[in-house]
Structures are given as structure tokens and as C-alpha cells.
Structure 1
Amino acid sequence: MNKIIIVLVLALFLKPILPVIDYVVNYDYISKVLCENKSKPQLKCNGKCHLMKELAKASNDDKPLNSDKKNTFSQETELLFCNEITDIFVAQIYFYSKKPTQCTYSNLYSHLMSNSVFHPPTSFFSIS
């Protein structure tokens, strides 16, 4: 099953390259027989005109059929759902005055000021 999928994927990826491979394999035949500009050697076409036609044909085959229609009509409809508001609730607002509360500020912050320089503890083990 996996081999079939791999073959199909490779075929899809290689389909646009097939005209180029055909051009390379049959270069002599295309440049001498199928080239449209073989009577004008100064253009140095060498069958590239045939290659361009084949590439255009391959790219047109890849387009979906709906992209060729120019008179497509599309209609968009926007659907909105609204709930009708039936009840209106008005909150009662009470105005009252607050009495200021008496509070005293107590500063509980303490700071220990020390003029001595901090020395880290000495280690018990010496590293040599």
C-alpha cells in the first residue's frame, strides 16, 4: 500500500517536469522537425517554442475546470441572531455618608545600624 502511495505522489510531482524531460530526450527531433522557427536560425530557438507550448498545455491541464469560467456568481449571506431584551433591571443606588474612622499610625520599622565591617566565617576545611 505504501509503495502505491509513493508512486502516486512521485507521479504528481513529476507531471509538470515531463515536458522538459521529453524535450531533453527528443532534442534533435524537436529542434529539426517540430520547431516553428526552424526557418529562422538567427533566433537560436532549437525547439524551445515547442517546449513552451507543451509547458503551457501542462499548466492548463493542472487548472481546475471552475477557474476557466469568468461569469461565476457567488452570493454571501450574513445571518445574525438577536435576542430581544424584555426585562430591564435598574439597580438601586444608595447614597450614604461614611464617617471617618480614627486610626493611629504606628511605625514598627526598626533598623540596626552597625559600623563594623562584615567578615564571612572561616572554613573548617582547608583546600589544597
Structure 2
Amino acid sequence: MKSYVILLVATVMLFKPLWPVAEYIMNYDYIKDVLCENKDRPMMNCDGKCYLAKMLAKEAEKHEKNPFGEKQSKTEIQPLVYLEFLPQLGVNFDFEKSSLQQTLFIESLTSTLLAHDIVQPPELV
């Protein structure tokens, strides 16, 4: 349930700047006939784009404002790293001595070249 709420909030935040465009598309006829500033000049083919530009400018102005207000100190240093300690897992690292002795023989292995019988590489006929 918590993940659905987070997903919903993230989706709303993502599409909030596009709300004026969606409103323009849904109310296109009303905006073109009533709210357009250039409806007396049909040769401009504005069709309410002036209203859309105003709404987008207003949305951009809201976006540029600092949501925390202007009272924040200019000399205050913001923390860059947030640490959160994870719960420790109860893993037991006590191995038996016999398992340690079994792995010691790996260091004494040597590699051998098994291609000592090849004198000359094969030729294409």
C-alpha cells in the first residue's frame, strides 16, 4: 500500500507541470472563443495560445519559487550525506578447523602446459 501511495505522489509531481496543457486541450473551444486575447485578430491564428503561454509562465513562476521560503540562511551548510544504519544480520563466522585445513591445499597447485607435444601449428591445404 505504501508503494502505491509513493507511486501516486511521484506521478502527480511528474505530470503537474503539464496540467495547463491538458486544461488547454480539454477546454480548447471555450479558451479560443472567450479567453483568447487575440480573438478580434483572426489572421494571427492564435486560437488561445496566448492564454496557454500565460498559464505556462504562471506555472514556471510557481516552480521557480523556493518551497522552503526565503528565510533560509545563505551561509548555512547543507548536509550532503545522510547515513542510515541497516539492521545487522546474525551471521555466524565460526568455521570448523577441518574446513580451513581442507582449503589450504589449493595454494600448492601448479599449472601445467599440456600442449608440449605440438611442434608445428597446422597448415591450410
Compute the TM-score of the two structures, normalised by the length of structure 2: 0.53
Residues 1:6 and 2:11 are matched in the alignment: no
Greater helix fraction, Structure 1 or Structure 2: 2
Distance 1:10 1:74, change over 3 A: closer
Question: Which structure has the larger Rg?
Answer: 1
Tell me how far apart the structure 2 counterparts of residues 25 and 121 of structure 1 sit (CA, whole Å): 80
Tell me how far apart the structure 1 counterparts of residues 41 and 35 of structure 2 sit (CA, whole Å): 13
Gaps of 5+ in 2: 76-116, 120-125
Gaps of 5+ in 1: 76-119, 123-128
AA matched with 1:64: K
Aligned to 2:30: 29
**Runs ≥4 residues deviating over 6 A:** none
Aligned to 1:18: 19
Count of residues in Structure 1 that have an aligned counterpart in Structure 2: 75
Compute the TM-score of the two structures, normalised by the length of structure 1: 0.51
Residues 1:60 and 2:70 are matched in the alignment: no
Report the secondary structure of 1:65's partner residue.
coil
AA matched with 1:38: K
What is the root-mean-square deviation of aligned Cα atoms in Å?
2.7
Q: State the shift of 1:121 in Å.
A: 7.6
Tell me how far apart the structure 1 counterparts of residues 37 and 61 of structure 2 sit (CA, whole Å): 21
AA matched with 2:58: K
Aligned to 2:43: 42
Tell me how far apart the structure 1 counterparts of residues 31 and 118 of structure 2 sit (CA, whole Å): 94
